[in-house]
Structure 1
């Protein structure tokens, strides 16, 4: 056993205390340290004791659940944030003024091309070879009868119009007019007190001016008032009932 040394009974092999601690005096009566003990206890009392909830959340299992919940919520929060950013960007893009656009011109069913609003000042050929101005007898119902067996249509139109309205049939050749059932003469005598004319248009100028398609088994009807204005254009018709109501406008 190691014997006691001259330094108050402490073994000689113990290391010296750090110099920064200074001089440490250990009193013979420990009651002299009561002031220091009270100061340390006062510092410890400054921290309130943990509540039950704090003790619960400090448990290792609860800490792992908190970390797992935090990791799980990060992805939905990121997705929602991106969606909000995209929505805000779209709103700004739609509200941002762009270059002015030129208004588009739309053609509706009630809009008639400029060249079709007025009857052209054409000169057609009568069956006897004479030149006849198309506007020479207005108001009129003009029937384009190429390729149409329209005898009933022509007869019904003559019966439907008043004595002040002329009925004019136009075809590419005299043979077509004869097939339509109309008399093969130019300026015919009034039928039942009404004016009927049969004219030929070998070049198809009137059909082209009115933007009509190729002839088929139906006729085209053009209602023209006294001022050469086209009141009604029926591209395809086989009965006077298609334009009977418009005759009163001539």
Structure 2
């Protein structure tokens, strides 16, 4: 049954052959001779038992928890990442341009009393015909100077601010400008023209007191020079 080794020793009768890579196996007659090997095997078994004790019970919940966290994070990234990218790529919407209500054009200017630098009331209708510059959103001295230079002699140039009247500086030799304040903001309320930063609004009123034009953002003088000429007719 067995294959004898170099010295003619084979496995005991009735036992299967041992693997050849084990080499020569000697079984001592006295079992106590194997006490050292037995103690070492027991130590290795105890060490393996201590290292593996509790691992299945603790490791499995940790793995499940880790998988749940990673799944949740992946879901959040999938939901928010495309939306964030689209928001960053999409340009901010431009503010809608102001469109003066058509009902304002052709209506008579209300009888508004504004105030001058000394807080004295000034009837606005007593200054017609006039180009009224709303300068509380932008002082815009260059635009004011252009309007003063282009307005016919019969047309009054009026600047209006919300609250007290603000002094206006004009080029040397230019005609005077009537600087008035509108504490109640009655003119802008009538026009439905809110103040906007860096925007100089204008209202053109003929000698009959009728609003003939509303300009939310006054541009170069050439864009309204013809309207100024008609005010003086």
TM-score, with structure 2 as normaliser: 0.51
CA RMSD, Structure 1 to Structure 2 (Å): 2.6
Match of 2:113 among 123, 139, 150: 123
Asked if the contact 1:157–1:240 (Cα under 8 Å) also holds between the matched residues in 2, the reply is: yes
Q: Which runs of 5+ in 2 are unaligned?
A: 1-98
Q: Which runs of 5+ in 1 are unaligned?
A: 1-108
Q: CA deviation at 1:166?
A: 0.5
Residue 147 (str. 1) matches residue 137 (str. 2): yes
Q: CA deviation digits over 1:127-146, x for unaligned, max 9? A: 11110000111111000011
Q: CA deviation digits over 1:73-123, x for unaligned, max 9? A: xxxxxxxxxxxxxxxxxxxxxxxxxxxxxxxxxxxx897215862211100
Residue 244 (str. 1) matches residue 233 (str. 2): no
- What is the aligned partner in structure 2 of residue 136 from structure 1? 126
Q: CA deviation at 1:192?
A: 4.8
Q: CA deviation at 1:240?
A: 2.4
Match of 1:161 among 128, 151, 160: 151
Asked if the contact 2:100–2:193 (Cα under 8 Å) also holds between the matched residues in 1, the reply is: no
Match of 1:211 among 192, 195, 198: 192
Asked if the contact 1:127–1:199 (Cα under 8 Å) also holds between the matched residues in 2, the reply is: yes
* Higher Cα radius of gyration: 1
* Residues 163-202 of structure 1 aligned to structure 2 (within 5 Å): 163-174=153-164, 177-178=166-167, 182-183=168-169, 192=173, 194-202=175-183
- What is the aligned partner in structure 1 of residue 202 from structure 2? 221
Q: CA deviation at 1:238?
A: 4.0
Question: Cα distance 1:195–1:112, how it changes in 2: closer, same or farther (>3 A)?
Answer: farther
* SS across alignment from 1:124: strand
What is the rounded CA distance, in whole Å, between the counterparts of 1:215 and 1:243 in structure 2? 20
Aligned length: 132
- What is the aligned partner in structure 2 of residue 230 from structure 1? 211
Q: CA deviation at 1:232?
A: 1.2
What is the rounded CA distance, in whole Å, between the counterparts of 2:221 and 2:194 in structure 1? 20
Q: CA deviation at 1:241?
A: 2.9
Q: CA deviation at 1:168?
A: 0.2
Question: Cα distance 1:210–1:126, how it changes in 2: closer, same or farther (>3 A)?
Answer: same
Q: Which has the higher contact order (CA 8 A, sep 6+)?
A: 2
Q: CA deviation at 1:149?
A: 3.0
TM-score, with structure 1 as normaliser: 0.47
- What is the aligned partner in structure 2 of residue 93 from structure 1? none
